[in-house]
Amino acid sequence: MDAKTRIARRVALEMTDGDVVNLGIGLPTQVVHYLPSGVEVMVQSENGFVGLGAVGKQDANLVDAGGQPAGLVPGAAMFDSAMSFALIRGGHIDVTVLGGLEVDQEGNLANWMVPGQRVPGMGGAMDLVNGARKVIVAMEHCTKKGQSKILRQCTLPLTGRQVVDVLVTELAVFSWGAEGMVLQELASEVTVADVRDKTLAEFSASPNLQTMKGVTV
């Protein structure tokens, strides 16, 4: 199982039946393919939909916020961007799943800009991290060069401060709370020492540390 599939499978377990969910572009969109049996969610998109689903008969005018072809499930609704962002800012999104470039030990997230590179902009991420009831970051633990993406302090421009509730990588699951950054789950093939070696952030290990749920090597 590759890293992105493992991450998507684990993130899917964070969903509960009936959630209204916003999925960022890239890896987060895979989450809906691995929802547990009996769990149905309504996928919201910043460009004006609640109820996005698998592509059926392709319609060039029907795309998600990332510009990818999308379908609609029964009961879906379409509206303008003003209404879409009112849902987000009004606290009506249960869960958002976003990719990340960097996350730090304070729960800060940077996921929209690398200085010196042309980027399309932040999109709705700034609104989502402040409006959604639960913010999950789904990203690989290290860069392609092997550098940790989980830092003491983010170096890239921030999307939001102290906004991350759960971070899922291919190696571990972290959460944030009154006790700071806590390692909650480990992939079966790694140890706490392995994770510390690949993580620049300071964290504590939960006394109830578990093997990562829902995935196998």
Q: Write the secondary structure of 63-75 as one string of H (helix), E (strand) and C (coil).
A: ECCCCCECEEEEE
Whether residue 147 is contained in a domain is answered as: yes
Q: Write the secondary structure of the chain as one string of H (helix), E (strand) and C (coil).
A: CCHHHHHHHHHHCCCCCCCEEEECCCHHHHHHHHCCCCCCCEEEECCCEEEEECCCCCCCCCECCCCCECEEEEEEEECCHHHHHHHHHCCCCCEEEECCCEEECCCCEECCCCCCCCCCCCCCHHHHHHHCCEEEEECCCECCCCCECEECCCCCCCCECCCCCEEECCCEEEEEECCEEEEEEECCCCCHHHHHHCCCCCCEEEEEEEECCCCCC
Q: Which pLDDT score is estimated for 121?
A: 66
For residue 66, how many other CB atoms are within 10 A of its CB? 17
First to last CA, the chain: 6
pLDDT in tens, the chain (217 residues): 899 999 999 999 999 999 999 999 889 989 998 999 999 999 999 889 999 887 776 677 888 887 888 889 999 999 998 999 999 999 999 999 999 999 999 999 999 988 787 766 667 899 999 999 999 999 999 999 999 999 999 999 999 999 999 999 999 999 999 999 999 999 999 999 999 999 999 999 999 999 999 876 5
Whether residue 217 is contained in a domain is answered as: no
Please tell me the distance from the alpha carbon of residue 181 to that of residue 206, in angstroms, as a whole number. Answer: 10
- Do residues 130 and 160 lie in contact, with contact meaning Cβ atoms separated by under 8 Å? yes
CATH of the domain at 66: 3.40.1080.10
Whether residue 71 is contained in a domain is answered as: yes
Catalytic residues: 46
| Tally of domains within the chain | 1
Whether residue 216 is contained in a domain is answered as: no
Query: Closest by alpha carbon to 36, among 215, 216, 217?
Result: 215
- pTM as predicted: 0.94
Whether residue 46 is contained in a domain is answered as: yes
Domain range for 152 is 3-211
Whether residue 33 is contained in a domain is answered as: yes
Whether residue 11 is contained in a domain is answered as: yes
Whether residue 51 is contained in a domain is answered as: yes
